[in-house]
Each structure stands twice: as structure tokens, then as C-alpha cells.
Chain A
């Protein structure tokens, strides 16, 4: 039936031409229209707006009428004292999150997969997903409270063991680890979902055969579970690499303070502070564009690499 109607419509297309074909689906076009309008307004118009990175943006004149300045802002940006620091912080924080935050959900999914008590498994999942749904403002508030040198529960423990309290939130050498730790705390459980889904797809017979062959749990994980996760792992890794310049805007915005700007100020927070604070629209748009372009290039490169390795890639 399906192929029949399809063939019929196909025939009509050939005879009546393309515009009629599109007309036939007018209601589908109407359905997709709101999404298209919203996307054009709030995603594509801003993309067009990046041309102010090359213009002397003037509020009165607007985006189009403002004068061109060429690459002036980019020269300024790279000559800026703070810019290399901001890029370095972004990369450092992001890399630390990648190195620690990437494998943990995989390990968590493997451990959960090995659990035999369904109720306990469900309980662990329910609990570890929860922080994903809680805002950075709240998690920032929790972290500030837990780590406070005067009243925080963690410093209480440190004092009980007999050490001096630590000023976590204003200590430059520790602050990045707090960012990494709280990020893992918030997202690890949720991140495990996609691997769990992939593990569910692995044929049970493989495990049974391995058990018959005398493989223990670790060997089963190594030879069956991990290979089964391979393509999922590669896709997630690709995405993470594409977003390497997103070090966690909201998180840093909530948790940092002037004493740790030196190690915590990332491109996004810098753009936010300088761009909206001192209205340097052109300069900060140039910084944002720099970030977007590098991210895109990295993503495309990573995708090419994945394809070379025989994986499907993202696109």
C-alpha cells in the first residue's frame, strides 16, 4: 500500500512538476513553520549579526549602517593582555573536565550494568540523575555552603582530622578542581544514560558464551561491553571535542569571584562581563566568533578523523 501510494505520488510529481509536489504538502510546511521562524529569529539572525565583529557598531546606525573596520577588533583582541589568559583558562578547564568527566559516566554505566538487583539499580539511577535537573545557581549555592571555610561541612571534617581550614572558593590552585568536581557531580549520572542504552543493545548470548568459555566479569567487560560501547564513546568524544571551548559558562558565572579571575575567567564569562558591562560590542563579538569558528573547525576535524577510523561520525 505504502509503496503503491508513493509510486502514484511519484508519477504525479513527474507530470505536474515540483511546485505542485510542494503544494501537496502544504499542511506539513505549515506545521514546521513556527519552528523555522523561531530558529531564523533567534539562531540565524544572530549568526548574521556576527558581522559587527568587523564593524564599528553604532547603536544609532544599527548593524547594517555601521562602518566597516575590517580585522581591527581581532588585532586588538590578540594584542590584549587578558585574551591569552582567557583562552588558556578555557582550554585548561575544558581539558580537565574532559579527562576526568568523560570516562566516569562510562565506568558508572558499566558498574550499573553489572548490578543484578533491579531495585537497587533503579534507586542509584534515580538519585544520580537528579543533579542534572538542578540549576547551577543552586549547585553553586550548595558548593559555596559546603566549602565555606567558616561553616562548611567539608572544612569541619578537615579540622576534625587536624588540618587548617581551606579557603576553597578563593584558592587559585584549587578552584579549577572545584569546577571539575561539581561538573562531574552534576552530570555523571545523566551522562551514563546513553551508555546504558547502548549496553542494553548488546546481545545477551555473547555474555553467556563468554561465561561458558570461563571469562570472568572483568574479561567480559573488556571483551564484550567495551567493544559494544565503542561507537557511542567515539560519538560522545567527538561532541566533547567540538565543544572544547565551552568550559561551562553558567557554572563559572555562578561560582567564580574576583579573587580567582586569573584561573577561572573563560571566554564566555569574559565576553559577558566586558561585552555587556562596558558595551564593547564589536570586540566581544570578535571573541565570541573566534570561539564559534574554532569549535566548528574542531568538530569537523574530529568527524573526519572518526570516519577515517571507520566509524559513522555525527554528520
Chain B
């Protein structure tokens, strides 16, 4: 293939544009990491760009000195692990019947789930239901209402439908029950999809904060995002007086350190799951 002059100019411009875009995504994170590790004087003098100056961990010590941080961290961890487990079980179990061609009422059930994507009762009626069920001030109030995402259900169903039918037929001939077919044939074949959907759910639970703001008033049950929000919005909360021994801290570096602490678990998991989820989503999406 002949390479025309205009072609290569286009390629260069394209690479430059996409590089700038990537940089604009990465730079804020690098800046905030640099800030969280920098000394007070350099922050006040506004000398921090992308590299820390006056390197120290004082802001992290400060954030990690809050008992509330550990309480909130374990709450968020619990919500994420238990919530994701529930979500995955419910989603996989429901996606299987919906992917059966022979299942009667398949369309009716699909409509039943899909309607909830387009119409909702809204904030107050949902709040009242959660209250009526006695879930206020429990972690269930965060996990149960977001346990099933119709969108994820559709992705899994579409993936199941793309598996070859012959597999299932031979299993039926061997006398396997539906639950066996799901557990022994479908699940092992759909690991990338499972990883993808689990990541979606887990991130949703880890990031959830407005449910907590509505349903949870007990500080002992407060998840990490709400803790962070309080730290970010009022940079000097009353009970967080900066002690003399920790003079290296500014409100900015404290916020920066808190942001890194909250985002860190996602950054740890992301690279490993990331390669799966593009494939997972595409497989689910292409076959409408």
C-alpha cells in the first residue's frame, strides 16, 4: 500500500491528539499524588506540579489517624464484597432463564426488568419503601436497592445467548438439570463476562454515596465516599484539629491523601480486569 503524504500527516496529528487526551486524564491524578506527598511550605508556595517536593507521608499519617477512616473503609469493603456477591448470584440466575429460547414468558420478564430502566418512582417513594422495610441505618439499604442492574442483566443474557446451543443439548441428553447446565457449562465459559460484570457491580458499590447520604445517619455505618465527601467539602472538620506533631499538613495535602486512599483499591484491581471488560462488554453489546 502506498503511503501518501497526507495520510502520514493525519496519523501524526491523530497520535498527538490522542496523547494529549490521555495526558489530560493522567495529569490530574499525578498532580494530586504529588501534592499528597509534598511538604507544607512547597504547597503553600504553589510549587507543586507533577513531582513532590519536601517528600513526606505526613498527610497519609493524618488521614490514617482517623478511626472513622478504618470504620468507613471496612464498611465500604463489606458493602462491596457482599453486595457484589448478591448481585452476581441474582444476575446470573435471572439471565439464564431469560436466555432460554424455550422459556415461556421470557419476553414478559424482559419487559418487566427493562421498564425499570425508563421509569422510576423517584427519590422520595424509594426512600419511604426502604424505610418501611426497616432498612434505614443498615448496610442493606445500600446493597439491596442496587443489587440488580437491568443493564448488566441484559449484557449477561446476550452473552449466554451467544453460546452454542449444541453444548446445552448434549448436557440435556446426559440428563443435566438447568441449574447444572448453568453451573457447569455456562459459568466456566463466561469468565470474562463474569469478571466484567463483577467489576461493574463492585465499582458501583465502592463508589456509592448518595444512598448512604439518604439512608444512613449512623457514623458507625458510614461508607468511605461519605467520609471523603465530608473531608473534601469542609476541609477542616471540627474533630480533626491538626496536632503540633503533624505540622507538615495543609488541608489540600490532607484532601489529596484521602482521595488517593479512596481511589487506590480501584487502581489496584483495574489493570487486571480492564483487559477482560472491553471484550466482555463488546460480546454482550454487539449481539443486540
Contact = CB atoms under 8 A, between A and B. Distances in A.
Interface of A: 1-2, 5-6, 9, 21-22, 25, 27-29, 31-32, 34-36, 38-39, 41-50, 52, 62-63, 108, 111-112, 114-117, 120, 123-131, 133-138, 140-142, 144-146, 148, 151, 153, 156, 185, 189, 193-194, 196-198, 200-201, 211, 216-218, 242, 249-250, 253-254, 268, 271-272, 275-276, 281, 284-285, 288-289, 291-292, 295-296, 299, 315
Contacts of A200: 282, 286
B116 interface: yes
Contacts of A9: 102
A38 B104 contact: no
Q: Chain B binding site: helix, strand, loop or mixed by DSSP? A: helix
Contact of A141 (B14, B24, B93, B259): B259
Interface of B: 1, 4, 6-7, 10-11, 14-15, 17-19, 21-22, 24-26, 28-29, 31-32, 35, 43-44, 46, 49, 89-91, 93-94, 96-98, 100, 102-105, 109, 112-114, 116, 118-130, 132-133, 144-145, 147-148, 153, 165, 169, 172-173, 177-179, 182, 199, 203, 206-207, 209-210, 214, 225, 228-229, 232, 252, 255-256, 258-259, 262-263, 266, 270-271, 274, 278, 281-282, 285-286
Nearest to B147: A38
B10 A114 contact: yes
A151 B250 CA distance: 11
Given A63-B128, A138-B228, A275-B123, A32 B282 contact: no
Contacts of A39: 112-113, 116, 148
Contact of A52 (B22, B98, B125): B125
B124 A28 contact: no
Nearest to B93: A31
Nearest to B122: A288
B6 A28 contact: no
Contact of B252 (A22, A34, A145): A145
Given A22-B104, A123-B22, A124-B22, A38 B121 contact: no
A35 B91 contact: yes
